[in-house]
Amino acid sequence: MRSMSAVSSYQRGIAAIVGVGPNLGRSIARKFAHEGYTVAILARDLGRLSRFADEIAREEKAQVFAIRIDCADSKSVREAFEGVLSLGFVEVLVYNAYQPVSYPSNFTDIRIDSFEKSLAVSSVGAFHCAQQVIPGMVERGRGTILFTGCSVSLNGIAGFSELCCGKFALRGLSQCLAKEFQPSGVHVAHVIIDGIVGPPRGPSAAVGSSSQRSLVGEQQRGGVGEGSVMMDPDSLAQTYWHLHVQDRTAWTQEIDLRPSSHTRFF
């Protein structure tokens, strides 16, 4: 792992976290703010996002900017990243966006617009966001792109076709970008969250509403058995940070994360 002195040996850029809700996205944003980054957090709900930005900025004494984005709308992505790029060089992109739908779903009952929206958010939005930041990363010979996947990124599951297809595509995008741009100094990794993300267990757990304790979390839903152990988003955020500071002689391209008391959900 690259030392902190090496990480800070050049001027840091912006960490852009796309798909920030009360659990994983907010924890990732807080971690990068804690490490000294200026952070841009992006999601559809600008009101809630602004509250998160104020909280993180106050707690970490960092600059945090809230920017609205609709990852299913290419125009919205371009406009959002005009704002992000106006802040400076985007050194880190974390794509954590997810389209909530009802699971499991009877295939014949799925509406085509719902299916297309899930594909758009899970994969097409990631494509658009990556296109906005990769040129700057290649120009500077450094940068990190981290995509959040889940259990169904690897296995098709009955009743989960909307989520599976988008997450399969996201994993393929991650692998393609890694092969194309890692020789240029851009670290691309796919993070499989094999479990249910709950609210933070630390001090940040007190912030927000009881809805944070939903089994849905931000990224995962369905197939959950009784007594399943929720994953701590602050602990997950540590892994995103470690991926960012890895030495380029030993980059991880994909990693699976699951709780120790784990019954595979799918």
For 239-259, what is each residue's pLDDT tens digit?
A: 999 999 999 999 999 999 988
Q: For residue range 197-220, what is the model confidence (pLDDT) as tens digits?
A: 888 886 544 333 323 333 233 444
Q: For residue range 97-109, what is the model confidence (pLDDT) as tens digits?
A: 987 766 677 888 8
Nearest one of 195, 239, 256, 260 to 28, comparing CA atoms: 239
Tokens of 79: 């406009």
Its pTM surpasses 0.75: yes
Structural domains of the chain ordered from first start: 14-196+229-257 (3.40.50.720)
Q: Is the pLDDT of residue 96 over 60?
A: yes
The listed range with the strongest mean pLDDT (53-57, 119-123, 229-233) is: 53-57
